[in-house]
């Protein structure tokens, strides 16, 4: 009898405890990757950092599944992987890594969290009605962003800051397209192997761009601080946290697994202030809370449409 109770408890922990633990990991550590990216791009081009990160992480994933003799994707699965590699990693991750060079890691994390708004807008142009809750959420989020930018008004006169905002916003748009593409043409293929292939293929895209434009610096000139950042982003950001993220998607309801979206910016802002002395004023804190409340309503609206 005792053995049965222990077995039941163990199963309960595995079915609920481990997914929640994975969600906590994702919520915290994806927030820390903004700081690692910010530190890395202080000393090297952002696209080159993203290129190296995705190449190393992709090699780790693909190498593992090659050793396991995992079947390769077939036919239309390759098309989906190629599109997602371009949208999610070459564009979204590449542009956000580049964009955080020109702003605080906390601000970058907040802007990156607004991708659900673009999903609503894209769906609207595809003929889908915008729910009142979504519209209200968009308006609240916009108000929150305005509050945040009260403390950045002077920075808007700087061309570099303006460029960073453009890059970061573009990264959220491509991420939204990537999510919609995933839902529309999800391939029946190992998601972890697919992730590795996407990273590896995106590194090839980025390498072609960075080499053609001549922005790369020699590997020997990349300082130790940037290599440490890349190592952290590869191991923690691209491998461990992505594995935990996919695990949460597979074992938790969407409304719970999406909580990380609201926690990541808070982690980035607080740690950015504590470790890097980034600005964290009352207006920024209030604006962040208002923005995340609006995003919650947008996400809730998206989930209702699915049901």
pLDDT single digits (tens) 39-50: 999 999 999 999
Rounded to whole angstroms, how far apart are CA atoms 307 and 265? 28
Looking at residue 282, its pLDDT comes to 84
Rounded to whole angstroms, how far apart are CA atoms 165 and 167? 5
Looking at residue 171, its pLDDT comes to 95
Query: By C-alpha distance, which of 263, 280, 249 is closest to 32?
Result: 263
**Positive or negative: CA dihedral 236, 240, 245, 248:** negative
**Positive or negative: CA dihedral 164, 203, 79, 74:** negative
List C-alpha distances in Å: 179 to 32, 87, 127, 140, 198: 22, 9, 18, 23, 14
Note down pLDDT in tens along the chain; length 307 residues: 554 444 444 554 455 678 889 888 998 999 999 999 999 999 999 999 999 999 999 999 999 999 999 999 888 889 889 999 999 999 999 999 999 999 988 889 888 888 888 888 888 888 888 778 888 888 888 888 888 888 787 788 889 999 999 999 999 999 989 888 776 655 567 888 999 999 999 999 999 999 999 999 999 999 999 999 999 999 999 999 988 988 887 887 766 767 888 888 889 988 888 888 887 788 888 888 888 888 888 877 766 655 5
Rounded to whole angstroms, how far apart are CA atoms 270 and 267? 5
Residue with token string 């989906």: 80
User: Would you say 69 and 190 are in contact if contact means Cβ atoms under 8 Å apart?
Assistant: no
Cβ atoms < 10 Å from Cβ of 183? 10
Rounded to whole angstroms, how far apart are CA atoms 27 and 228? 22
Question: Where along the chain do its domains lie?
Answer: 20-306
Three-state DSSP string of the chain: CHHHHHHHHHHHHHHHHHHHHHHHHHHHHHHHHHHHHHHHCCCCCHHHHHHHHHHHHHHHHHHHHHHCCCCCCCCHHHHHHHHHHHHHHHHHHHHHHHHHHHCCHHHHHHHHCCHHHHHHHHHHHCCCCCCHHHHHHHHHHHHHHHHHHHHHCHHHHCHHHHHHHHHHHHHHHHHHHHHHHHHHCCCCCCHHHHHHHHHHHHHHHHHHHHHHHCCCCCHHHCCHHHHHHHHHHHHHHHHHHHHHHHHHHHHCCHHHHCCHHHHHHHHHHHHHHHHHCCCCCHHHHHHHHHHHHHHHHHHHHHHHHHC
Rounded to whole angstroms, how far apart are CA atoms 86 and 174? 9
pTM to 2 decimals? 0.85
User: Would you say 80 and 181 are in contact if contact means Cβ atoms under 8 Å apart?
Assistant: yes
Query: By C-alpha distance, which of 110, 41, 80, 99 is closest to 195?
Result: 80
Looking at residue 233, its pLDDT comes to 96
* Tens digits of residue pLDDT in 58-116: 999 999 999 999 999 888 889 889 999 999 999 999 999 999 999 988 889 888 888 88
List C-alpha distances in Å: 156 to 11, 133, 146, 191, 254: 54, 31, 13, 41, 36
Rounded to whole angstroms, how far apart are CA atoms 14 and 11? 5
Residue with token string 């910016």: 265
């Amino acid at each position: 009898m005792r053995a049965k109770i222990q077995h039941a408890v163990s199963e309960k922990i595995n079915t609920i405890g481990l997914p929640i633990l994975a969600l906590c990991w994702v919520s915290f550590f994806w927030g820390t990757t903004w700081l690692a990216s910010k530190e890395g791009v202080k000393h090297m081009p952002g696209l080159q950092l993203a290129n190296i990160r995705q190449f190393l992480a992709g090699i780790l994933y693909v190498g593992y599944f090659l050793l396991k003799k995992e079947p390769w994707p077939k036919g239309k699965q390759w098309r989906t992987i190629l599109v997602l590699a371009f949208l999610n990693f070459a564009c979204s991750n590449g542009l956000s890594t580049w964009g955080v060079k020109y702003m605080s890691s906390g601000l970058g994390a907040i802007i990156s969290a607004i991708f659900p708004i673009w999903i609503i807008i894209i769906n609207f142009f595809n003929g889908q009605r915008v729910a009142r809750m979504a519209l209200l959420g968009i308006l609240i989020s916009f108000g929150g962003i305005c509050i945040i930018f009260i403390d950045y008004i002077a920075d808007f006169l700087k061309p570099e800051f303006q460029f960073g905002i453009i890059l970061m916003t573009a990264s959220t748009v491509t991420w939204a397209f990537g999510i919609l593409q995933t839902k529309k043409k999800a391939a029946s293929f190992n998601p972890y192997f697919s992730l590795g292939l996407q990273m590896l293929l995106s590194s090839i895209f980025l390498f072609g761009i960075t080499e053609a434009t001549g922005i790369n610096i020699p590997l020997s000139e990349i300082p130790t601080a940037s290599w440490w950042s890349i190592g952290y982003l590869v191991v923690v950001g691209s491998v461990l946290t992505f594995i935990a993220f996919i695990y949460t998607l597979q074992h938790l309801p969407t409304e719970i697994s999406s909580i990380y979206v609201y926690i990541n910016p808070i982690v980035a802002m607080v740690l950015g202030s504590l470790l890097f002395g980034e600005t964290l004023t009352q207006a920024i804190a209030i604006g962040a809370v208002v923005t995340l409340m609006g995003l919650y309503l947008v996400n809730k609206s998206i989930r209702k449409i699915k049901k």
